[in-house]
Amino acid sequence: VSVHRDTVLYAGVDIGGTNTRVGFVSENGTIVVDTAFETMAHDPVEGFVRRLASAVQEMCGAFPSRTVVRGVGVAAPAANPRTGGLEDPANFAWGNVPLVALLEDALELPVSLLNDGDAAVLGEVRYGVARGMRDVVVITLGTGLGAGIMVNGALLQGAHGAAGEVGHTTLVPGGRMCGCGQRGCAEAYVSAPGLIRTTLELLAERHETSALRDVPSQDLQAHIIAHHAAKGDPVALAALTATGTHLGRVLVNVIQVFDPEAVVLCGGLVKAGAPLIDHAFSTVHEIVPARYGEKVRLLVSSLNSGEAAILGATSAMRDSRLRPNGIAARAGNE
Amino acid sequence: VSVHRDTVLYAGVDIGGTNTRVGFVSENGTIVVDTAFETMAHDPVEGFVRRLASAVQEMCGAFPSRTVVRGVGVAAPAANPRTGGLEDPANFAWGNVPLVALLEDALELPVSLLNDGDAAVLGEVRYGVARGMRDVVVITLGTGLGAGIMVNGALLQGAHGAAGEVGHTTLVPGGRMCGCGQRGCAEAYVSAPGLIRTTLELLAERHETSALRDVPSQDLQAHIIAHHAAKGDPVALAALTATGTHLGRVLVNVIQVFDPEAVVLCGGLVKAGAPLIDHAFSTVHEIVPARYGEKVRLLVSSLNSGEAAILGATSAMRDSRLRPNGIAARAGNE
């Protein structure tokens, strides 16, 4: 007599400033199916919750019987795992949102919440290029600049659950206005919108012809800049290398403070490619004294965009040891 | 019949870029006697070791019989507790020095070594204004800018024992040359020599009469600048407030990354007084979003200069639980 076991899945949700990705993850950490939709971060959160619920329910409807979805692990910016809320994330018009409560009502499943950077570092440490490491900084490059930091095998949380805001350290004193209201934040330079702002500055400063002059500024996107850089466009190349240098300086500061085993870059902007990443890493090697630079590994995630966060968010839901201190999933989902 | 017990003391040594302080600490954490001498960091380390040994032996000679000195806890910049060596500290001409081995030979006592920032945070957490806290950043302001960082009750060490180099994060891109060979390091602005460099810049830029114009530049010292600021000298005041603003920006970055319960300022430069500290704290309140600023306590050490490091270095020697991972004192001193 064979024992029929249910197939158990966990949903992982990575809420980005531009897109939200949903993946269903098996107990062994494989993403069996995934999808993505526009976050529409400038519209009210209620519409987002409805669209997420539709996406999850539609995917669940396609599963064979005997498939049990045990819960939903969510990764989001400015997430406070202790309260289950988002705390006015930059680039979002949602303000303070009790996201776990909203999603548990809409999905009728237990929901746990992690900061997106924390989810990414858990994903990289369990399934990615940082597998098995205990001191790692993961930098997430997308609409925002986030970080997930593991210190001696534990997530860096801070006294109030707000640690790791590398994107809102000051990179350029008195520099660009950031979405958070401060000036000169790293995120205002090292992010997809930061790359676009640098491109616009270079178009203003320089005289070279550039295919980017044909693109209305509101249509400029990181992938368009990367595309033209690959074809040799001088302004596009200069924008990527300048952004890479800025990123390198962020990495230097992180290395000086945390002395990690590795720094891992992940997120959509990593696809902007070689000029950005190469300049970031060469900046680190130029600036950081040899005694650090030779020891710290500079890595690029091997996972697709959002996968690390989806894997990290679901692994924290499955395994209570991975959860930040003081966070309990709301229902008996273990 | 009364039982005669030996009085047990531990020596604590705080090696600063300018002065070295030695204190003998009782088992309950009281500094029973202390002294200080010039470090002479630009002369060879052998002379320093001889002078430290003389100071320790002279003090020991004055103790009553039945006093046992169990060991020496040393706090120093760029200390690697895992190797027992200093790794080419900025502002020192010593290069890489096997300090523990040199001192054990000279003192014939077990010696343990901590980074000065780590010693300071241990001292503050056990005996100072951060008593009982588990997430704290202590900033040491003196010849250099150091930090000791406690995360969830443990010292932040990093993967190679080199974490916490807040002084060598970039504060001003392309700015002043730092003793470490980089440009624009926080330490080049927020330290006693940084304050002096800012004063010289202001004397060059501004036209006001200032008592500081009568002081040869090589004789300028932080306490002279503080003295004239207290009497209303406009250049001295401007130098202190500018240094305070720089310090505030360092604190903002530290708060964004660590989200600590408190930040504690200690070290000789804290004595430069109100204009510096006030501007540092008001800069934090201006820049940091209210959700952090209201939660993080901004504190000034209540211990005298070097006391926190002496207490921390000896408490780590007494109590193995306080030692960073992988450090064993060399002899049976517990």
Q: Give pLDDT tens digits for B91-114.
A: 899 999 999 999 999 999 999 999
Q: Averaged over B284-297, what is the pLDDT?
A: 75
Interatomic CA distance for residues B263 and A69, integer angstroms: 44
Partner residue opposite B256 with nearest CB, options A135, A160, A169: A169
Cβ-defined contact of B165 to A259 (cutoff 8 Å):
yes
**pLDDT computed for residue A333 by the predictor:** 37
Q: Which secondary-structure segment (H or E) carries A264?
A: strand A262-266
**pLDDT computed for residue A320 by the predictor:** 61
Interatomic CA distance for residues A22 and A34, integer angstroms: 5
**pLDDT computed for residue B4 by the predictor:** 63
pLDDT at A325 over 90: no
Q: Averaged over A195-219, what is the pLDDT?
A: 95
Structure tokens belonging to residue B102: 């040199």
Structure tokens belonging to residue A127: 């399934």
Q: Averaged over A31-54, what is the pLDDT?
A: 95
Low-confidence winner among A61-70, A208-217, A228-237, B208-217 (lowest mean pLDDT): A61-70
Low-confidence winner among A284-288, B31-35, B101-105, B202-206 (lowest mean pLDDT): A284-288
According to DSSP H, which parts of chain A are helical? 45-61, 99-107, 116-127, 192-205, 222-230, 234-258, 274-287, 290-293, 307-318
Partner residue opposite A151 with nearest CB, options B151, B165, B260: B151
Compute, in degrees rounded to 10, the torsion defined by CA atoms B140, B146, B152, B156. Answer: -150
Partner residue opposite A159 with nearest CB, options B135, B160, B253: B135
Partner residue opposite B162 with nearest CB, options A87, A169, A259: A259
Residue of chain B whose Cα is closest to the Cα of A87: B291
For testing contact with chain A, the best of B135, B150, B157, B168 (most A CBs within 10 A): B168
Q: Averaged over A278-287, what is the pLDDT?
A: 91
What's the pTM? 0.87
In chain B, which residues touch A (CB < 8 A)? 87-88, 134-135, 149, 151-152, 154, 156-166, 168-173, 180-182, 249, 252-253, 256-261, 287, 289, 291-292, 295-296, 325
Q: What is the DSSP letter of A6?
A: P
Cβ-defined contact of A256 to B168 (cutoff 8 Å):
yes
